[in-house]
A and B are shown apart, each in its own frame.
Chain A
Amino acid sequence: MARIVGMVTTSHIPAIGAAIAKGQQDEPYWKPFFGAFGAVHAWLDKVRPEAAVVVYNDHGLQFFLDKLPTFAIGAADEYRNADEGWGLPVQPPYRGDAAFSWHLVESLMADEFDLTTCQEMLVDHAFTVPLKLLWPGAGRCPVRTVPVSVNTIQHPLPTPARCLKLGRALGRAIASYPEDLKVLVLGTGGLSHQLDGKRAGFINRGFDEMCMAAMVEDPDALARYSIPQIVEAAGSQGVELVNWLVARAALGPRVAKVHSNYHVPISNTASGLMVLENAN
């Protein structure tokens, strides 16, 4: 049977991808961010996931407003990255696992989550940057992937409560896969930031710290927020917190924290990193 080895949540800021491309990881601006990933690499070496379900939000590479799914899942054996318009190097294609994806689709649909299935799906920086942070080596990402995209562009967005339930259903779906497969769940984005409007540059350390504590102890507390409340507390793009909630909820009620980091600022964003495992 498949088994979830744990969950990683990390910011996916495009500037991180640019810094990786330029080899700036050890520069003073970047060191407090990249330095925190050593512990993640050590943990990955220990738990050795074979597949990653990546919960992220597309920023207008794959999806446009003509047809915008609230939740979409990749169901292919390969996913491609492409030009997003502002200069990040395009990453080599990612391996998918169509059989695993279709199992997840079957299970999630039976659990009343009606996702849009994608046999072709371009994956943007919110998918590629976190995978590069986890597996920084040259060449192809070493694990098979399943992209799960959550709409955070056009309101109404799915509520945090709905995202928590999706995560729980995703956890059940993974656990019911009959193949032996070690699965990492990855939630990307956040934490507080706002790119648009007169409030651009908004960051809320207090709220972020509360969120990171609640991720361990009480994710239901986060699910009680409304989207407008999260926008107010975490900024317009801080709503990416919902990706973290999906990933967290895929684990059981009791988790152990392996590692975390919080650093302000990276670009316009409060960067957050967490590694959690199911508690014994």
Chain B
Amino acid sequence: MAQAIPGTVIFDGVQARRGYALNKMCYSFNSAENRAEFLRDEEAYCRRFGLDEASRAAIGRRNVLELIAAGGNIYYLAKFAGMFRMSVQDIGAQQTGMPVEAFKAMLAAKGK
């Protein structure tokens, strides 16, 4: 990539290679059966997909910025977050360090 965009990680080949196992696990959460399996035994499920230490720790902390740093792509991560009923506002609030209501108010203010 020619330029760095503040607050933005471009999901390119480097990220896609780094996060392959993590994204593959999150892609599996399209299936209700797999979601239930993860919730039943998170450790075993992560082991099955061969997550590295950074991904495993970020999954444990439900931390989106760390998951992105580990190579996670937001579309697959959304399936992970969805298991915990986290909306994209919850995810946005977590990443920007704002309370959810403040994040929603920030979005609403952009419509004014």
Contact = CB atoms under 8 A, between A and B. Distances in A.
Interface of A: 15, 59-61, 64-66, 82-87, 153-156, 194-203, 205, 226, 228, 231-232, 236-237, 263-265, 267-268, 270
Contacts of B32: 83
Given A85-B30, A263-B111, A199 B7 contact: yes
Considering residues B2, B20, B30, which has the most beta carbons from chain A within 10 angstroms of its beta carbon? Answer: B30
Contact of A196 (B74, B83, B103, B106): B74
B2 A195 contact: no
Given A60-B27, A64-B24, A197 B65 contact: yes
Given A196-B95, A201-B106, A228-B3, A155 B88 contact: no
Contacts of B27: 60, 64
A236 B81 CA distance: 19
- By secondary structure, the B interface counts as helix
A199 B77 CA distance: 17
Contact of A153 (B26, B65, B73, B95): B73
B46 interface: no
A144 to B, nearest CB: 26
Contact of A197 (B2, B31, B82, B95): B95
A236 B30 contact: no
Contact of B74 (A156, A195, A202, A231): A195
Q: Give me the 7 closest cross-chain CB pairs, A-B, nearest first.
A: A86-B82, A199-B7, A85-B79, A198-B7, A264-B111, A196-B74, A200-B92
Nearest to B31: A83
Contacts of A154: 11-13, 16, 73
B9 to A, nearest CB: 6
B92 A155 contact: no
29 contacts: A59-B75, A60-B26, A64-B24, A65-B23, A65-B73, A82-B30, A85-B30, A85-B35, A85-B78, A86-B82, A154-B16, A155-B1, A155-B13, A195-B78, A196-B8, A196-B74, A197-B7, A197-B9, A198-B65, A200-B91, A201-B96, A205-B110, A228-B1, A228-B10, A232-B3, A232-B5, A264-B107, A267-B89, A268-B107
Contacts of B23: 64-65
B76 interface: yes
A166 to B, nearest CB: 22
B75 A60 contact: yes
Interface of B: 1-3, 5-13, 16, 20, 23-24, 26-27, 29-32, 35, 64-65, 68, 73-79, 81-83, 87-89, 91-92, 95-96, 103, 106-108, 110-111
A153 B64 CA distance: 17
Contacts of B8: 194, 196-199, 231-232, 236
Given A86-B78, A153-B73, A228-B3, A201 B103 contact: yes
B68 A196 contact: yes
Contacts of B77: 196
A15 B5 CA distance: 27
Contact of B10 (A83, A85, A155, A226): A155
Given A194-B8, A228-B5, A200 B95 contact: yes
A196 B64 contact: yes
Given A195-B88, A196-B95, A265-B111, A231 B6 contact: no
Nearest to A226: B2
A66 B76 CA distance: 13
A268 B92 contact: yes
Contacts of B89: 267-268
